[in-house]
Structure 1
């Protein structure tokens, strides 16, 4: 009876954490777009994640709740690199060339990819329902319809590359989510797990930055980019990612991925009101060449 009560309480907290993720991560596409406008994108995301992960680790250490083993490091570094470096971090670069609303819309396919990866990896032997396959197809068709007035932009290599790489990042994030759900380190400390993932994901981004960023852009970094970085460290990573890891641990992976369906609405509205991304009956973004 007592264990059932604890489980129900955990579920309530998990749904609350998921609600926080739905709200906060919808705003991160907007903040990320502002941040990478004048800040080298991989360096920006690398600083964000290392600062967030390092802060959590420091806080846990001061509170005497930090107990890290080699197994913890290995199992948390892998999803950190998958989700935060090759997933979220790469999207920052993509948002230099595609609208933030489009990036959020593409990433709404994460739940579908999660189901497909679960099946392909053998973790879930149930054959994907035809509705799932239909959802993937309709999602792709929906992206084309919403951006039909911008199909001419696909002739620009950077725009097409931004879209394709965002699809790749979506797939990698889904793979990282599946790994986190099924290949846990045994540690029950959710904050420690989130901190290690953030920290190692950030280190991977800083390494990528050495090869892919142009550091001359640091001379023109603006105050809005700095404030966007601060916002993303605190709310996008420390608060949002910790809540995501908690929800992922206590809820079915399909449920914990539902945030991806809500984030685009917030991202599209913020893009409409603040980034001049026009919203019509079928939204269409007039994206200016950099």
Structure 2
């Protein structure tokens, strides 16, 4: 089997498994406090990944300077990124959370245009931003019944906050590039982000009467650790090393589709024409922003 073929297989794994994490998180937090659940997921995933690297002899290359650079990305992308999304899916459909998170490429470009004054905007980027904002409008229009409930409106706002936080973390890693291995960086980020989630949990959740984790939550936790975190991230790095970056970026279009379909099939989450239209409009925005940015770099 050629490396290119393996790269396509790895990309398929990324598209599927990252799309399933929204559903798995919703199932997991249904039987256990959400913030501590997501904290356990990330601390264990980071520890397992770092332990594996250490056993392979990579530990001799680790430095505090390299680890320190991963603290802010870990807090932005894990604690206030995927971590609080895990909290929000208690109150909103997993497919809706995934659709909102698909705006990350659009918002990243918008933040980059503000941060880098020498960046120029072209019609594709402008059109993509407008389509992305239109997608958000359609999402809210399709969920007016949810918005009327304080907890679900909070869930939607929390996801949007997580999108901003994730984008900030991504821009930080671009500006302050670490020389260390990507797997080491991911391990530290997950561990630090998990510790941040424990802190949020201690401030917001009652630790004096924690329920025992039921079988479903345990299964979801194991799935998220090994498939949603370790396998999917390793597959992403492998795909990036064997395939063009533009091709690998299609995971951003596939993940929300996987989440929406699984939410419908397994949890009975509704899919309306508004949902389909919001998906098409949002994905068009993501595509235009991506293609416009590539054209700009050329």
* Fold match (TM-score > 0.5): yes
Instruction: Report whether the alignment pairs 1:27 with 2:20.
Output: yes
Q: Are 1:54 and 1:195, in contact at CA under 8 Å, matched by a contact in 2?
A: yes
Q: State how 1:35-46 maps to structure 2 within 5 Å.
A: 35-46=28-39
Against the structure 1 CA distance between its residues 80 and 245, is the aligned structure 2 distance closer, same or farther, given a 3 Å change threshold? farther
Against the structure 1 CA distance between its residues 190 and 14, is the aligned structure 2 distance closer, same or farther, given a 3 Å change threshold? farther
Instruction: Report whether the alignment pairs 1:239 with 2:240.
Output: no
Aligned residue number for residue 166 of structure 1: 159
Against the structure 1 CA distance between its residues 78 and 246, is the aligned structure 2 distance closer, same or farther, given a 3 Å change threshold? farther
Secondary structure at the counterpart of residue 273 of structure 2: coil
Q: Are 1:45 and 1:205, in contact at CA under 8 Å, matched by a contact in 2?
A: yes
Aligned residue number for residue 280 of structure 1: 272
- 1:209 pairs, out of 188, 197, 201, with 201
Taking the aligned partners of 1:215 and 1:268, their CA distance within structure 2 comes to 33
Q: TM-score, normalised by structure 2?
A: 0.82
Q: Are 1:90 and 1:169, in contact at CA under 8 Å, matched by a contact in 2?
A: yes
Query: What is the CA-CA distance between 1:227 and the residue it aligns to?
Result: 0.4
Instruction: Report whether the alignment pairs 1:195 with 2:183.
Output: no
Instruction: Report whether the alignment pairs 1:116 with 2:113.
Output: no
Secondary structure at the counterpart of residue 39 of structure 1: coil
Deviates more, 1:268-277 or 1:253-262: 253-262
Q: TM-score, normalised by structure 1?
A: 0.84
Deviates more, 1:235-244 or 1:164-173: 235-244
Instruction: Report whether the alignment pairs 1:91 with 2:85.
Output: yes
Aligned residue number for residue 291 of structure 2: none
Query: What is the CA-CA distance between 1:210 and the residue it aligns to?
Result: 0.7
Q: Are 2:19 and 2:256, in contact at CA under 8 Å, matched by a contact in 1?
A: yes
Q: State how 1:57-96 maps to structure 2 within 5 Å.
A: 57-66=50-59, 67-96=61-90
Query: What is the CA-CA distance between 1:216 and the residue it aligns to?
Result: 6.2
Secondary structure at the counterpart of residue 219 of structure 1: coil
Taking the aligned partners of 1:194 and 1:252, their CA distance within structure 2 comes to 21
Q: Are 2:32 and 2:211, in contact at CA under 8 Å, matched by a contact in 1?
A: no
Deviates more, 1:83-92 or 1:274-283: 274-283
Q: Aligned-pair RMSD on alpha carbons? A: 2.7
Q: Are 1:73 and 1:196, in contact at CA under 8 Å, matched by a contact in 2?
A: yes
Instruction: Report whether the alignment pairs 1:157 with 2:150.
Output: yes
Taking the aligned partners of 1:197 and 1:37, their CA distance within structure 2 comes to 25
Query: What is the CA-CA distance between 1:251 and the residue it aligns to?
Result: 8.2
The number of residues matched between the two structures is 274
Against the structure 1 CA distance between its residues 114 and 147, is the aligned structure 2 distance closer, same or farther, given a 3 Å change threshold? closer
Deviates more, 1:256-265 or 1:192-201: 256-265
Taking the aligned partners of 1:117 and 1:252, their CA distance within structure 2 comes to 24
Name stretches of at least 5 consecutive residues in structure 1 with no aligned partner.
1-8, 285-290
